[in-house]
Amino acid sequence: MNLKNNAMIGFNSPKEFFEFYTSLGILHEWKIVTGKMNDRGERIENRGYVHTLRKLFKEKKLFRRMVSIAEIVSFLDEYHLLKRILVTLKKKLDPEQYTSLKIFLEYKIPYSKNRRIDIIFQYGKKLLLFEFRVSATFPNQSAMWQKKELELMIYKEFMMNYLPKDYQLYLYAFIGMPEYHHNQKIEKHIMYNKTNIDFFVDYMMTYLFDQLQRPEEFNLLKD
């Protein structure tokens, strides 16, 4: 099953994603910073990579409107996070498994009124649906998680209508935090994101690659 047809862009390996990211020509390392998405977007509105992403979005003809600058910023936050996830994952997997991981960005679900999944990870007949959001404050995250997890469950229901019966679907909502404020590091947010990246990689290892990482999580399943 080819998920690439309904995605803004798809990659047959992590290497292909890194090549795409490099091709965007982001001159300085992207940072997840504080501030509203539109305000952050104003600073990059005329950059070449913004035009590239808008062109990709338009060329697929999957969506009815031009992608907003706030969405572009969200994409770039997401790609920055994805790079870090893949670097961490590569350290844990053997090369064959790592290179077999497929990645699809902005996947539009058929017959869903243009609902899109941020990222789909595919390993064989296993799919991991991934939603991403940035929260500036810790107290808001519980509500964001619940909203994103509900969205993911709805997306899963839609996809089960047409996926082959032997496919397995897993869900993950990742709430990240801005790591910089006026070029100053926010150390506790950086540590928070790193911890969540490590946890998510363990989740991928356990469910996509059948390598149980945190057995203590399954203590309740024991007799």
123-163 pLDDT, tens digit per residue, is: 999 999 999 999 988 766 678 888 999 999 999 999 999 99
* Residue 182, pLDDT score: 87
Residue 217 confidence (pLDDT) above 90: no
| Stretch 97-114: mean pLDDT | 95
| Stretch 22-34: mean pLDDT | 93
Residue 201 confidence (pLDDT) above 90: yes
Across 87-103, b (16+ Cβ under 10 Å) vs e yields: ebbeeebeeebbeebbb
Write the CA distances from 96 to 13, 22, 84, 128, 150, integer angstroms.
Answer: 10, 23, 19, 19, 34
* Residue 114, pLDDT score: 87
> In which element (H, E) is residue 77 found?
helix 69-90
pLDDT confidence bin for 61, thresholds 50/70/90:
confident
> In which element (H, E) is residue 11 found?
strand 7-11
Q: Going by CATH, does the domain composed of 9-33+78-208 fall within 3.40.1130?
A: no
pLDDT confidence bin for 43, thresholds 50/70/90:
very high
d(CA 151, CA 16): 28
